[in-house]
Structure 1
Amino acid sequence: MKPQMTTHHSLAGLRSTLRRLAHRAGLPVELRYRLALSATRVAAGELAAGRPVLLEAVPPQPDGRAEGRGEGRLTVRLHLPHAPRRPSLDGLPLPAERLPGPAAVWRLPAPALEEPPPGDDPPGLVELLEEELSAAVSRMDALAEDHQRLKHELAETNSGVLALYVQLEERDEQLRQAHGRILRQLEDALRPPPVRVPGVEMAVHYEPAEKHAPTGGDLYDWFVLPDGTVHITVVDALGHGLTSTRSALNVTHAVRTLALEGHPVESIVARTDEVLATFDHDLMATVQLVRIDPASGELVLANGSHPPALLVREDGETSLLEVRGRGIGFPLPGSERLLRDRLGPGDLLVLYTDGLTESRRDPREGEQRLARVARRHRHRPIEEIPAAIAEEMHTVILHPDDTVALTVRRVPG
């Protein structure tokens, strides 16, 4: 096979020459039809305009000399001598190198074949096309088989992923249930159930500012003193989350200890600050203390910077039980005085933290709304009242905060 230069005026002639040339050079069938497609695409514009193109082929040589291009390489150059501009070589089935001027070159690995003996007729164009078509069909069949295999593998993978997803969902549900049990146990430990004593009935509702963080700085405590009176503590420690919970627990535990030791109720707020200041320097909390005699209904209230309690009489009359004082961690902590009143049969006492009345950033407006809401719900079963009050107070929340709503009602007994 010798170097050759041919001139072409039609795409059919160019394709035929390229196919025979590639066959004689021993190119694989796929490279052969890629070369024919690429050269046709480069030359199509020129031939359609009636301008000829030149095809130059430098074949590999049997003695290892390929006329400057090295052994085992077929070099095909396509010249467009009359083209007004360089041809586009982007996106060709077989990438080409650009030469100076309007031309393209392909350098293809090929065996160095001897010249065919005289009388050995090369295959015809139809045979070459049939060979390329057969190779393309085989390639398509192989791709279809690979596609089917990949679909099967993907189906198996999807089945495995689905099974894993189901397992993860089941595991996630188990973790959610375990988390819920732990949170309920934690809430039970932090929030004691209502005290059961003749003469009064009590209920409480707690609502965290964030549902995923069910603990906060709003806590309460209630217990019966040795003399039979009921003691109630409501605390609102600064902040949210576990840190504020710890601070509020410190306050409730200190108050309980001091109350059971017999300290006067008017001194407990200041004494609590004194006790806790030695190991919790950052603690700041409002606190409200209430003592109720179930037999007589006598009520005593001390306050340290906490919102006022609400008293709803059986006939619907309401009043705020306000006592000046400063909370734990405040300057000069303590209740300035004790407020004394009396619960009659059917009277309802509402104790709460500021998350109940300050959801709209106006405490006074919140206190007025609370009075109207509590008046409407005062005759409901006691266990329903705190949640009903909180739900109606929180129809609009501009400033979410932890909320405690605690109710005590005097009953004949």
Structure 2
Amino acid sequence: MTTRNLTCATTAGLSRAVRALAREHALDPEVRGRLVLSAAEAAGAALRAGRQAVLEWAYDPDAGLLTVVLRTPGDTDPAAELPMAPEAVTEDEVVWRLPAGPPMEAAEEAPGEEALAAEELRAVLAAADALTAEHRRLKVELEETNSGVLALYVQLDERDKQLRTAHGQTLRELEDALRPPLIKADGLELAVHYEPAGTDAPTGGDLYDWFVLPDGTVHITIVDALGHGVTSTRSALNVTHAVRTLALEGHRLQSIVARTDEILHPFDRAVMATVLLARIDPVTGELWLANGSHPPALLLRRDGTARYLEARGRGIGFPLPGSETPLTERLAPGDLLLLYTDGLTESRRDPIEGERRLIEAAHKHLQSPIEEVPGAIAEDMHTVILHPDDTLALAVRLTGQ
């Protein structure tokens, strides 16, 4: 492998030398043009300062590589970006290694500098045109892809709406299936409002049950099972079913909570629930309440006086579950009884403040149609929600008819 070198004092001379050796080794015109520009740029500072640059090259026939070295002592910027990326750059030299053919014999009529430069320019323009065409093709493909993605997004969004609609319908049907049908009891008006803690589940641990006993009295069960979602619904359903069975069997009201705990404990040891039981005689207005760790019922008289009916007892799954002697009261025509779960009064994390606000809301809707009362009260109570929870509100009004 023979090394050759040439000292150049001007940019034009360096460009001619690089162009000649590139043509001699049959470099592609585009590569040749880039190499000429790179050498001129790398040695430009030294040549403009009146110093010389040394061009050195050697061809390795075994590897088919042309090594070009440009030496400009102290004038090379290693960080500079050149049109032809070098293999190595130092402060003193720039090195290129390029695939090339063996040296060609000199032609009798070699193209002049202008012809070679024009050839290089045409090659560069051809490459630029090819890049432009490729860019245009990719742009068209991207637009088509974006159009397809947009169409797919529209389809997915429509499908998502359909799924949400179907999901919502299923949840509403499930919620309706868990609601006992509205009972008819002459002398009583009843209505209920239920709202789960989250929109992703139709129910939670708050459930109710109502039915008419053989003696004509109306039985109402309010249950608040620990937890949220469908899992807690199972526990609440177990409680309401056990209570209904015991009530229809004729068990005393004060014994039902303890007996329910005995029945459920072997099957669901994790169940924990507060319970409020109410019995109402539609004819006489007599009311009996049995409690198991549940928030007290609110009685709002027709004349506006209000009182919480505190009945003692411990819930299912609690230590020593059961109810003490039932609390008795007598309702008069126009009186409103409100049974609820703690989600109604503790949305602001202050039960005492919640109970005060509940009395105010009940006063506000005392004369409203019974079917509007529970929902209107819940809306007033939930103007601010700091602690979302399942909410149940059940209203009973004695009509005296």
Give the TM-score category using the shorter length: over 0.9
Matches within 5 A, 1:80-99: 80=72, 83-84=73-74, 87-88=77-78, 90-98=80-88
Shift of 1:13: 2.0
Measured in 1, the distance between the counterparts of 2:90 and 2:168 equals 76
Tell me what 2:374 maps to: 386
For structure 1, the residue ranges without an aligned partner over 5 or more in a row are 61-65
Cα 1:355–1:36 shift into 2, 3 Å: same
Q: Residues 264-275 of structure 1 correspond to what in structure 2 (within 5 A)?
A: 264-275=252-263
Cα deviation code 1:141-197 (max 9, x no counterpart): 212221222122222212221221122112111111111111101111222243232
1:103 aligned partner, one-letter code: E
Change (3 A) 1:361 1:97: closer
Aligned counterpart, 1:31? 31
8 Å CA contact retained: 2:76, 2:90: no
* 1:363 maps onto 2:348 in alignment: no
CA distance in 2, matches of 1:235, 1:362: 21
- CA gap of 1:342–1:154, structure 2 versus 1, over 3 A, is same
Tell whether the 8 Å contact from 1:325 to 1:335 is kept in structure 2 after alignment: yes
**Cα distance, 1:70 vs. partner?**
3.6
Correspondence 1:316 to 2:308: no
1:77 aligns with 2:65: no
Q: Give the aligned CA root-mean-square deviation in angstroms.
A: 1.9
Q: Are residues 1:140 and 2:132 paired?
A: no
Which of 293, 297, 321 does residue 285 from structure 2 map onto?
297
Deviation at 1:3, TM superposition (A): 5.5
Distance in 2 (alpha carbons) for counterparts of 1:93 and 1:85: 18
- CA–CA distance in structure 2, aligned partners of residues 89 and 115 of structure 1: 37
Instruction: Report how far residue 99 of structure 1 moved.
Output: 7.3
Which amino acid is 1:21 matched to?
L
Structure 1 counterpart of 2:10: 10
Alignment of 1:226-245 (within 5 A): 226-245=214-233
Return the alpha-carbon distance in structure 1 between the equivalents of residues 91 and 345 of structure 2. 85
Partner of 1:48: 48
Q: Could you report, residue by residue, the CA deviation over 1:21-41 in whole angstroms, capped at 9, with x for unpaired residues?
A: 211221001210111122122
| Paired residue type of 2:106 | P
CA shift for structure 1 position 85: 6.1
Q: Could you tell me how far 1:256 is from its partner in structure 2?
A: 0.6
Shift of residue 100 of structure 1?
Answer: 7.6
How many pairs are equivalent? 400
Q: Separation in 1 of the partners of 2:353 and 2:36?
A: 87
The residue identity in structure 2 corresponding to 1:29 is P
SS in 1 for 2:18: helix
Question: Offset at 1:131?
Answer: 0.7
Q: Supply the AA of the counterpart residue of 1:385.
A: V
Q: Higher mean Cα deviation, 102-111 or 255-264?
A: 102-111
Matched, 1:22 2:19: no
Rounded Cα–Cα distance in structure 1 between residues aligned with 2:90 and 2:310: 97
CA distance in 1, matches of 2:91, 2:370: 97
Contact 2:77–2:91 (Cα < 8 Å) also in 1 = no
Measure the CA separation in 2 of the matches of 1:268 and 1:393.
31
Q: Distance in 1 between matches of 2:80 and 2:91?
A: 16
**C-alpha contact 1:269 1:335 (8 A) present in aligned 2:** yes
Distance 1:193 1:92, change over 3 A: farther
**Alignment deviations for residues 232-282 of structure 1 (CA, whole Å, 9 cap, x no partner):** 100111122222211111100000111111112121111111111121111
Counterparts in 2 of 1:400 and 1:114: CA distance versus 1, 3 Å: closer
Report what 1:104 is aligned to. 94
The residue that corresponds to 1:251 in the other structure is: 239
Instruction: Please tell me whether the aligned partners of residues 16 and 113 of structure 2 are also in contact (alpha carbons under 8 angstroms).
Output: yes
Shift of 1:114: 3.4
Report if aligned partners of 2:30, 2:121 keep a CA contact under 8 Å in 1: no
Contact 1:42 1:88 in 2 (8 A): no
Give the unaligned 5+ runs of structure 2: none
Moved more, 236-245 or 181-190: 236-245
Deviations 1:76-97 (A, max 9, x none): 11112xx336541553222223
Percent of paired sites with the same residue: 62
Moved more, 296-305 or 92-101: 92-101
Matched, 1:219 2:242: no
What is the match of residue 105 of structure 2?
A: 115
TM-score under structure 1 length normalisation: 0.92
Report the 3-state secondary structure (helix = DSSP H, G, I; strand = E; otherwise coil) of the residue aligned with 1:382. Answer: coil
Return the letter of the residue paired with 2:145.
Answer: T
SS in structure 2 at match of 1:126: helix
Q: Which residue of 1 aligns with 2:197?
A: 209
Partner of 1:63: none
Indicate if the aligned counterparts of 2:201 and 2:229 stay in contact, CA closer than 8 A: yes
What is the identity, as a one-letter code, of the residue corresponding to 1:183?
L
Question: Equivalents in 2 of 1:310, 1:98: separation in Å?
Answer: 89
Runs of 4+ off more than 4 Å: none
Contact 1:346 1:411 in 2 (8 A): yes
Q: Secondary structure at the match of 1:311?
A: strand
Residues in 2 aligned to 1:234 and 1:101: alpha-carbon distance in whole angstroms: 88
CA contact (8 A) 1:42 1:89 kept: no
Instruction: Identify if the C-alpha distance between structure 1 residues 99 and 214 changes in structure 2 by more than 3 Å, giving closer, same or farther.
Output: closer
C-alpha contact (below 8 Å) 1:309/1:320 kept by paired residues: yes
Give 2:67's aligned amino acid.
T
C-alpha displacement of 1:12: 2.1
